[in-house]
Amino acid sequence: MQHELGRQTLNQSSVLAASTGIRQGWTSRLFLTLHSVAHWLGGHGLKPLGRVVQVLSRFLYGSDIDAMACISRRAVIPHTVGIVIGETTIIDEAAVIMPNVVLGARQSDLDGRRHPHICRGALVGAGAVVLGPVTIGENAKIGANSVVLENVAPGTTVVGNPARQIERT
């Protein structure tokens, strides 16, 4: 966080992440903006051009985010390195995705939802792998390096491989 004479300086990223205490810098905002452009292009019949923007983002950030993934502009991705997000993934506002996270599919079936839905306020810890059409509930937490293959209830904390519940608020 930025400080000015002992007082916190508020900016858009600190307001967006106030509930998590995690600050999102300009590189993360650019990362999400590039994804938004790729998603818009793909949704307006310009999918090949959207893929070009996706490749540019992959080159700049070392992350593979499918152009068709639905990511809220108010999602928080404080460190964009090594993230993989599949085509039918949904990430709601105030959800926090840490570095080296994989949000992938469990099967290659191309019909329907194949990837996770990360609900509002959920936190996916560094190195976590979330596979399949699972839902991570509001304000749920996934511990670092956990492997999640089933739904996580709202307000629940899960850790391990396979992930198991350790706390519910």
C-alpha to C-alpha distances, 61 to 64, 99, 138, nearest whole angstrom: 9, 11, 27
pLDDT in the model for residue 81? 87
pLDDT in the model for residue 73? 85
pLDDT in the model for residue 119? 98
Q: Is the pLDDT of residue 161 over 50?
A: yes
What element of type H or E holds 157? Answer: strand 156-159
**Which pLDDT band holds residue 102 (cuts at 50, 70, 90)?**
very high
Q: What does the alpha-carbon distance between residue 116 and residue 123 come to, in Å, rounded to a whole number?
A: 13
Q: What does the alpha-carbon distance between residue 130 and residue 124 come to, in Å, rounded to a whole number?
A: 9
28 compared with 60, residue with greater pLDDT: 60
* Mean pLDDT to the nearest integer, 49-77: 87
pLDDT in the model for residue 32? 81
pLDDT in the model for residue 7? 38
Q: Which structure tokens are listed for 68?
A: 């068709």
The domain that holds 135 is classified in CATH as: 2.160.10.10
Q: Which structure tokens are listed for 134?
A: 């699972």
**Domain region containing 130:** 3-168
Task: For 3-51, write each residue's pLDDT tens digit.
Answer: 343 333 333 333 344 444 455 577 777 888 888 888 888 888 888 888 8
Residue (of 33, 42, 16) closest to 121 by Cα position: 16
Q: Which structure tokens are listed for 63?
A: 């992350």
* pTM of the entire predicted model: 0.79
In this prediction, what percent of the chain has a pLDDT beyond 90?
Answer: 47
27 compared with 133, residue with greater pLDDT: 133
Count of the separate structural domains present in the chain: 1
Q: Is the pLDDT of residue 156 over 60?
A: yes
pLDDT in the model for residue 78? 87
